Structure 1
Amino acid sequence: MILLPLVFLVVLHHTPVTLLQFYYHNNQQIKEYLFEVNTANPHITHLYSIGQSVRGQELWVLALGVSPGRHTVGVPEFKYVGNMHGNEVLGRVLLLHLIEDLVEGYRNNETWSLQLLNSTRIHIMPTMNPDGFDSSDTDCMYSQGRFNHNGIDLNRNFPDAFAGQAFDEDKREAEVQAMIGWLQTETFVLSANLHGGALVASYPYDNSNGGSELINGASVSPDDDVFVHLAKVYSYNHASMYKGNRCTESRPFLDGITNGYKWYALTGGMQDYNYVWAQCLEVTLEISCCKFPPVSELPAMWTDNRKALLSYIQQVHLGVKGRVFDSKGAPVQNAVVEVVGRRNICPFKTNQYGEYYRLLLPGNYTFTVTYPGHEVLTETLTVPYGPDNYSALKHDFLLHKTTTTHQPFSTTQYHVTCNTDLNADNMVDLNIDNSVKKCT
């Protein structure tokens, strides 16, 4: 997937941006606003497209940070995605106002904004489904526009490990292909996608095949404790989500959170794809009982969500981060970094800079690091609570070259073995060929 950066011939420093009004901006107006913000703030914003919708509309993303145009080693990547379902529209509004809030806070030297943008690269996509929005109407619950232009639910179109779905691009909608390409380009650590029709924070897994991950009606991931924490961070910083019973059309949710599968099973969902194949912990935020709230309610809804949106971003600094170096001191890509007791379907690996990021709650954790031609490294770390300091614990792993003679180490063989072990434990009944294909 080719990302399309925007290059401006004229850079206008400190150009005032039009005060953002509370109404539903159409796709052209969103584009114009993003252009305007980017032109006025080139030092902290970078506007790009990850691809196009079925009807050829660009899928715009605004990145914010002190190095907005490229990744910086040690700085985690975060993303918000709105309007995946075209008729669930509050996310479009909130994300535009979040952009305005972050930019104005930084311009005014407000500590909270400086800390976030100095420590994090934040990517904001106001609409993943611009075609669906164009066809939507304003009914509170049953309006058209949920699907993309081809009539496909984008949140049922991603490859699904539990369903043994292959990575056949012909079966993926343009918007989903663009999202998958984006995830392969950036090392996202934490994410949330914004929906409507309920008031709850939902977390993986969304699906199950009845293996040992199925516990008391929930499909429990190896990082369940972290997901519960992340969901509660949003619900308890929201004005009312934590109360758990705010919508007449949905059941009560304890603490305003739910395991996705326990709520209802979903095949091909985006949050499971992010977690399983992209090493990005994602939560689905249902942020309004009404999918298309009246315009008069938008200011109050922004107030209800603002603190939660900012607090959730800050959680990207949970746990531990660092790099893996080989015996010669060079950073290595695709080193497997695992936490004992948290065996993921696809093992977490280092990126092209040798970096790893692992969101963990405070505590003691044993790590194993595996890389071809080197001894398996095992270390135990004590992880503090990082978000208050806007940095996870920093720890690098230095590998030692193996002294014994082996057959050449195969990353693919390792991952097949790993997933086979999961099957042996009855943890996940995977189609190995399909799932391992993208683990390597």
Structure 2
Amino acid sequence: MDLARLWLGLLLPLVAALDFNYHHQEAMEAFLKTVAQNYSSITHLHSIGKSVKGRNLWVLVVGRSPKEHRIGTPEFKYVANMHGDETVGRELLLHLIEHLVTHDGRDPEITNLINTTRIHIMPSMNPDGFEAVQKPDCYYSEGRENYNHYDLNRNFPDAFEFNNVSRQPETEAVMKWLKTETFVLSANLHGGALVASYPFDNGVPATGTLHSRSLTPDDDVFQYLAHTYASRNPNMKKGDQCKNNMKFPNGVTNGYSWYPLLGGMQDYNYIWAQCFEITLELSCCKYPREEKLPLFWNDNKASLIEYIKQVHIGVKGQVFDHNRNPLPNVIVEVQDRTHICPYRTNRFGEYYLLLLPGSYVINVTAPGHEPHLTKVTIPENSQSSSALKKDILLPDGGHLDHVPVVSLSCPMAPLYRNLPSRSAATKPSLFFFLVTVLHLFLK
């Protein structure tokens, strides 16, 4: 089958080579529609909504089943240009699309990625802002905000403080989008610095703010994810390439440690959408000259591809009742790293837990029933193309088939506000220490 696909790849039509210029809405749409037409078997182009000015918020899906979710295939996404004047990520995602579709069937790495992953790519979350930039600037332009002058990365519900801003159409579209897919891993692409930043962006003493950080229960995984991206970018990993900016050891930072941020998208993804997201700052200059775009592509191509692969770490599976019926809305979490909005199975009874190699106890709890504990061990040399598969069969407890299909919602409120000021999340991660030591030996 793989050999046949490689031969087929040689016969597929090619997209006209994408130039290294800035592509405004009309040109971007033309490129995306051409890709969707020429590679219809592996792509699906759709709009998740419209901007204030009525521009489509385009998403191109790449995968073997681009139009619908397949059980066992994780959902991944990249979102760029939510600040309209931060432009590098927008162009990188267009080039990533071109790279994926033109290398399917030709490059085993890309072919395998498309075989095993459903990849959603949104080149611009803020097309109005991008079009509003009249005079590109390295530090600030009018186009940072949307047409209504709202910063979209301050516009989401916040788990730590009330965020009483007017929710914008672009934000609402993304929030609705997150409810339609079981996203597992994500990154949003920015500019103005050179660093991979991980949650939390906001915090309270319970998450470690008294120690100038705000850590999630999955801090080890987030540090690993940020390091995975930064370590493959030759300039980001140096941590000190931007003038008039702080230094970031190994090109990585905790968001709160850098500066607190209310209403950010990555915290919203993690808490309310069960999706691990980091923020990638890809250029010291927010809107660099076009002739520098090939350099940014060369610096980020390997990182962009390697980061997608990380959607396959950890463990995944389905939860069934004693009659082998899949169970939706069942809580599936690792002991000692529970989430303030419990992570639940989707409508197919699926769960995906991003975890590093090690032994874990998974706590499975159906509404109205006692917890069911399952031990799993993720090996050091786990396959990069698939998480450890662990289906869970719950014992006959009666009425498990009556678990409601509609997802149980978590309130859009400052959930961490009254949490006691003690948490395992505030403990420094051993992983970060090991990464730092390894970096010293490799210098």
Provide the TM-score with structure 1 as the length reference. 0.88
**SS state of the match for residue 237, structure 1?**
coil
- Per the alignment, residue 203 of structure 1 pairs with 198
Structure 2: unaligned runs, 5 residues or longer: 1-10, 424-443
**C-alpha deviation, 1:400, in angstroms:** 1.6
**Among candidates 43, 46, 68, match of residue 44 of structure 2:** 46
In structure 2, what residue type is equivalent to 1:60? W
- Per the alignment, residue 112 of structure 2 pairs with 115
- Per the alignment, residue 188 of structure 1 pairs with 183
- Given that 2:234 and 2:299 are in contact with CA atoms closer than 8 Å, whether structure 1 keeps it comes out as yes
**SS state of the match for residue 111, structure 2?**
helix
Cα deviation, 1:202-251, whole Å, max 9, x if unaligned, reads 00000013334436210010000000000000000112111100100211
Cα deviation, 1:4-55, whole Å, max 9, x if unaligned, reads xxxxxxxxx9443211000000011111100000000011100011000011
Q: How does 1:257-296 map onto structure 2 within 5 Å?
A: 257-296=252-291
- Given that 2:204 and 2:214 are in contact with CA atoms closer than 8 Å, whether structure 1 keeps it comes out as no
- Given that 1:158 and 1:273 are in contact with CA atoms closer than 8 Å, whether structure 2 keeps it comes out as yes
Structure 1: unaligned runs, 5 residues or longer: 1-12, 429-440
- Per the alignment, residue 242 of structure 2 pairs with 247
- Per the alignment, residue 83 of structure 1 pairs with 81
- Given that 1:317 and 1:386 are in contact with CA atoms closer than 8 Å, whether structure 2 keeps it comes out as no
- Per the alignment, residue 6 of structure 2 pairs with none
**C-alpha deviation, 1:401, in angstroms:** 3.0
The 1:402–1:264 alpha-carbon spacing in structure 2 relative to 1, beyond 3 Å, is same
The 1:118–1:215 alpha-carbon spacing in structure 2 relative to 1, beyond 3 Å, is farther
Supply the distance in 1 between the matched residues of 2:177 and 2:312 (Cα, whole angstroms). Answer: 21
**SS state of the match for residue 144, structure 2?**
coil
**SS state of the match for residue 363, structure 2?**
strand
In structure 2, what residue type is equivalent to 1:300? L
**Among candidates 124, 129, 149, match of residue 127 of structure 1:** 124
Q: How does 1:423-438 map onto structure 2 within 5 Å?
A: 423=418, 425-426=420-421
The 1:150–1:220 alpha-carbon spacing in structure 2 relative to 1, beyond 3 Å, is same
Q: How does 1:392-431 map onto structure 2 within 5 Å?
A: 392-402=387-397, 423=418, 425-426=420-421
In structure 2, what residue type is equivalent to 1:125? M
Supply the distance in 2 between the matched residues of 1:399 and 1:222 (Cα, whole angstroms). Answer: 26
Q: CA RMSD in A?
A: 2.4
Supply the distance in 2 between the matched residues of 1:58 and 1:161 (Cα, whole angstroms). Answer: 29
Residue-pair matches, total: 406
Provide the TM-score with structure 2 as the length reference. 0.87
- Per the alignment, residue 429 of structure 2 pairs with none
**SS state of the match for residue 283, structure 1?**
strand
**C-alpha deviation, 1:383, in angstroms:** 1.1
**Among candidates 350, 368, 380, match of residue 375 of structure 2:** 380
Supply the distance in 2 between the matched residues of 1:424 and 1:20 (Cα, whole angstroms). Answer: 50
Supply the distance in 1 between the matched residues of 2:139 and 2:94 (Cα, whole angstroms). Answer: 23
Q: Which has the higher mean CA deviation after the structures are superposed, 376-385 or 72-81? A: 376-385
Q: How does 1:250-399 map onto structure 2 within 5 Å?
A: 250-385=245-380, 388-399=383-394
**C-alpha deviation, 1:388, in angstroms:** 4.4
Q: Does 1:19 align with 2:17?
A: yes
Of all paired residues, the percent bearing the same amino acid is 51
**C-alpha deviation, 1:143, in angstroms:** 1.9
Supply the distance in 1 between the matched residues of 2:287 and 2:407 (Cα, whole angstroms). Answer: 46
The 1:239–1:323 alpha-carbon spacing in structure 2 relative to 1, beyond 3 Å, is same
Supply the distance in 2 between the matched residues of 1:389 and 1:197 (Cα, whole angstroms). Answer: 32
Cα deviation, 1:318-369, whole Å, max 9, x if unaligned, reads 1000011122211011100111110211111000110000000000011110
**SS state of the match for residue 199, structure 1?**
strand
